[in-house]
Structure 1
Amino acid sequence: MTTEYYSGPIVDAHHHFWQPAINPHPWLADGVLIPFRYGDYSAIKREYLPPDYFIDAVKHQVVETVYIDAEWDPQDPLGETEYIHTVAQRYGAPNAVVAQAWLDADNAAELLNAQAQYPLVRSVRHKPGGAANPQEAKAGKRTLMSHDGWLRGYAELAKHGLHFDLQTPWWNLEEAKRLAIDFPDTLIILNHTGLPSDRSPEGLAGWHRAMAQVAEVPNIVVKISGIGLADRPWNIDDNLWIIRETVAIFGPERAMFASNFPVDSLCGSFDTIFSGFKQAVSDLPYEQQHQLFCRNARRYYRTQQQSPAGQDSQ
């Protein structure tokens, strides 16, 4: 077996920028700590803008990035979109945006129309909640993906050519599969590898079954990111099988790598994580590696170059 570590351009398909001192992110406010899969996240309650990001990413050839909504005040979703466009205008990054939209809100149709007018918005995200563990899912607890009011909002996405970024644990993916089948014209981009946080044999088996089922539907793709573990440094031994199986399940044409920075800096450095990604797929043909690291994210998010990434254009 020959290996060739990927050395080409990278489009980071999932990251955040923020300025907690001036941005209304309730979960990043002083004195607030919500339950979080990585535990105490106080270390990321700091300003994080493109210059900070490109220092973290300096060892890798990141050429474009995709900003994901960061749970800005839900009373002002357009405020976040406006803010991140000013960041993009100043720094040349991000190059595409996943905006916030509460699909069960009374004004969901109006909001989606407004979000779609921004030049970098390609997708929206609304975490659908639901079962906290596989047992609750088996007992019948459902997410917003099964609620009529939410589905009315979801139906508006295709009218604007918007994708849906889905963040939900693997035990809710049966609902996601039904959603994708019922709305074939809307692309679902599954965030954070289906959240395989339970690394027991039973947990990994359940995750694998769920991912295989949802991958049967062609309008679902996946981002390989967010696979760190609480209180444990990110290392390839913990994550190699998950990375390899995700690529095998979805194929290199329907998966993409992402940093989830600065959140995943709680688990490891940018270099550790992306070097791990590169190691995990180094035996694949270089063209497939390019799909995973660059082409797929560029294609799905239609990234838009504005000025040299990481440089202040003012």
Structure 2
Amino acid sequence: MFDNRDWLARHVEEAIDPDLPIIDAHHHCYAVPPKPIFPSYPVDALLADKTGTGHNIVATVYVDSQITFRSDGPEHLRTVGGTDHAEAIAQEGIRRGGRNAGVCAAIVGHAPLATGARVREVLEAHKLASPDHFRGIRVRTAYDPDAPFNEDGYPGMLGEARFREGFAELAPLGLSFDAWLLHPQIGELVDLARAFPETGIILNHIASPIQIGRFVGKPAEVFADWAAAMADLATCPNVFVKIGALNMTFTGLSFIGRDRPPTSEELAEKQRDYVLRTIDIFGPDRAMFESNFPVDMLGVSYGVLWNGFKRMVKDFSESEKVALFHDTAARAYRI
């Protein structure tokens, strides 16, 4: 099992603006990672990051990794085990109290929308498993012929009639949709958002700009294409965006492979163009910061990551900072 904690410990920083309230809008939690390249991130590690880095993490949003399934019961409801797992973490945070409380304050599970209207039973089971915290689902639709991690996605998935039949079940239940896709797929999400204007959509990872395969050596072209597509998506008022998940090799913006981890200054310098353009396009009231831990832990420590975000928006007003770090996530996830 991969563990880079010794590498991350080579650079530690004190928290910048430690009183600024933060909702970590996207993280996972697992003792056994879904892939051997990821580090383990059990409950105690999550709570240590929430409480021990000096940042004021008041709440977090759990996003399912499709690895914690129910071991019995109807087969089609076993994915609800992800929500069972997250609700148990939320209750453990409440039990421990203090700064531990607020972990998994919102829960995003998984449901197979491509099964059509039958998915409603799964969605209702998620709500029963966590009446106070369950907020919506994510389907990992990320796909590109040059990407080595094509998860559950495939070409045209968001436009399929069966997928949209399942998607139509979200809004009547008051549920949102977390979208993980890659930047060449943004146009597909635009079409989906326009077809379902009453459904809240939260775009994960600023649409994961990729600089691998046919995109290698073309950073300016990737940025221009990504920015134009994001501007089109921003015309859909039902779409929010999460800012983060840039610390992986396929983005071309990570520090993986160096002999030491990045400082927050280095992080800000390398990633600010994407971050600031996202905020410029969507505005602070529709954008929120995420850690994407432990996946982004491959390239940066939790405390340094939040310092990097704070450096990128250091010239913003206090109200804009509060929106980006707290209020937008609170509104999107009803925290």
- TM-score of the two chains, using structure 1 as the length reference: 0.82
Q: Among residues 63, 66, 71, which one is paired with 1:68 in the alignment? A: 63
Structure with a larger share of its residues in helix: 2
* TM-aligned CA distance change 1:288 to 1:271, over 3 Å: same
Partner amino acid, structure 1, of 2:109: A
1:132 positional shift: 3.2
The correspondence of residues 1-314 of structure 1 with structure 2, limited to 5 A, is 7-20=19-32, 27-28=34-35, 33=36, 40-41=37-38, 44=39, 46-49=40-43, 51-57=44-50, 58-72=53-67, 76-92=78-94, 93-105=103-115, 107-117=118-128, 118-119=130-131, 120-132=133-145, 142-198=155-211, 200-230=219-249, 231=256, 233=261, 235-303=267-335
Distance 1:246 1:6, change over 3 A: farther
Distance, in Å, in 2 between the alignment partners of 1:94 and 1:73 is: 15
* Counterpart-to-counterpart distance in 1, 2:241 and 2:84: 27
CA contact (8 A) 1:145 1:175 kept: yes
Structure 1, residues 43-63: CA drift from partner, whole Å, max 9, x if none? x1x2421x3224234220001
Task: From the superposition, tell whether residues 151 and 268 of structure 1 become closer, same or farther in structure 2 (CA, over 3 Å).
Answer: same
Q: 1 CA distance for matches of 2:143 and 2:48?
A: 37
- Structure 1 counterpart SS, 2:155: coil
Report the identity percentage.
Answer: 33
Tell me how large the CA RMSD over aligned residues is. Answer: 2.1
Flag structure 2 segments of 5+ consecutive residues without an equivalent. 1-15, 70-74, 95-102, 148-153, 212-217, 250-255
User: Equivalents in 2 of 1:286, 1:207: separation in Å?
Assistant: 28
The CA deviation at 1:197 is 3.1
Q: Is the 8 A contact 2:63 2:107 kept in 1?
A: yes
SS at match of 1:98: strand
- Partner Cα distance (2:28, 2:328) in 1: 19
Residues 292 and 7 from structure 1, CA distance in 2 versus in 1: closer, same or farther, beyond 3 angstroms?
Answer: same
The DSSP-based 3-state class of the residue aligned with 2:172 is: helix
Cα shift at 1:105: 2.3
Q: Deviations over 1:8-44 (max 9, x none)?
A: 1111100111122xxxx7x34xxxx5xxxxxx33xx1
- Alignment partners' CA distance in 2, 1:240 and 1:55: 27
Displacement of 1:130 in angstroms is 3.9
C-alpha separation between the residues in 1 aligned to 2:18 and 2:236?
A: 29
Displacement of 1:87: 1.6
Structure 1 ranges of 4+ moved more than 3 A: 4-7, 129-134
Indicate the structure whose relative CO is greater, using CA pairs within 8 Å and at least 6 residues apart.
Answer: 1
Q: Cα deviation per residue 1:164-186 (whole Å; 9 max; x = unaligned)?
A: 00000111111101111110110
The Cα offsets for residues 140-198 of structure 1, whole Å up to 9 and x where unpaired, read as x8331011111110000011010000000111111101111110110110001110232
- Provide the C-alpha distance between the structure 1 equivalents of 2:49 and 2:109, rounded to a whole number of angstroms: 24
- Tell me the SS of whatever aligns to 2:26: strand
Partner in structure 1 of residue 9 of structure 2 = none
